[in-house]
Amino acid sequence: MWVAKLKCRHDCMIGNRCKKFNVTAKSYELGKYQKGKIKVTSSMHQLFGRQESINKFIKDFKKEKDIIYSEFKNNTLFIVDKKKETPVTKFNKNIFMASPVAVDSKGYEYWEVGSYKREEINKFISYLEAICFELKIIYIKEIFAENIFFPKLMPNLTELQKQSIELAIKEGYYKVPKKTSLRKLAKIMNISLSTYQRHLQVAESKLIPDIFSNL
């Protein structure tokens, strides 16, 4: 199995707004179909950042003209839209997403795509070169299929639980060695250590079993 990790920036309704409102996202394309000459896709996007910034993101997103249907709840955005030429429109039976797309606050997208054919990876990269403002190949490598990500929807976290785990990741709490402490994280969130610890533990208790529930 071949996997490529790519960093790119193109004209994207999600990436453009991540940059505009200082928001990050985890995105997963759920499906696509052809309706005449129009390509229709459905996707899920988990938004991270200050709640005020996320609310501005959603308010601005509602101006999009090519949205067929959308839902927004608990900072998760579900979209069905008419696609122009974007990376996902080039997916076929020979290429797939090996992990969710990460979108940073500067509008850069981090794609990890897989295929059993190296030439399919090369075709996808050639297509990205044609539509992206910037493109960087982080790696292309051959791996065992057992390392491929199987997508699941994000478990239902409260806003404080999401903020707690997002902050812990951002500040390096899960790095080895740790880059911060629970006490420092609680101070950043302006809540007590015990309250922060409780929010983080509940978030972890929902996320970790969810990831390994099929093992």
What is the predicted pLDDT for the residue at 68? 87
Are 16 and 144 within 8 A, CB to CB? no
Question: What are the strands, taking DSSP E only, across the chain?
Answer: 2-9, 24-35, 38-48, 67-73, 76-83, 96-97, 101-103, 109-115, 134-142
Are 11 and 135 within 8 A, CB to CB? no
What is the predicted pLDDT for the residue at 61? 94
Q: What is the mean pLDDT of each run of 10 residues along the chain (215 residues)?
A: 91 93 89 72 88 94 89 88 71 78 93 89 89 92 65 65 85 88 93 93 76 44
Give kind and range of the element (H or E) at residue 118.
helix 118-131
Instruction: Please name which of 37, 35, 15 lies closest in space to residue 25, comparing C-alpha atoms.
Output: 15
- ω before 177 within 30° of 0 (cis)? yes
| pTM of structure | 0.68
Q: Are strands 24-35 and 96-97 parallel, antiparallel or unpaired?
A: unpaired
Are 161 and 202 within 8 A, CB to CB? yes
What is the predicted pLDDT for the residue at 145? 61
What is the predicted pLDDT for the residue at 24? 92
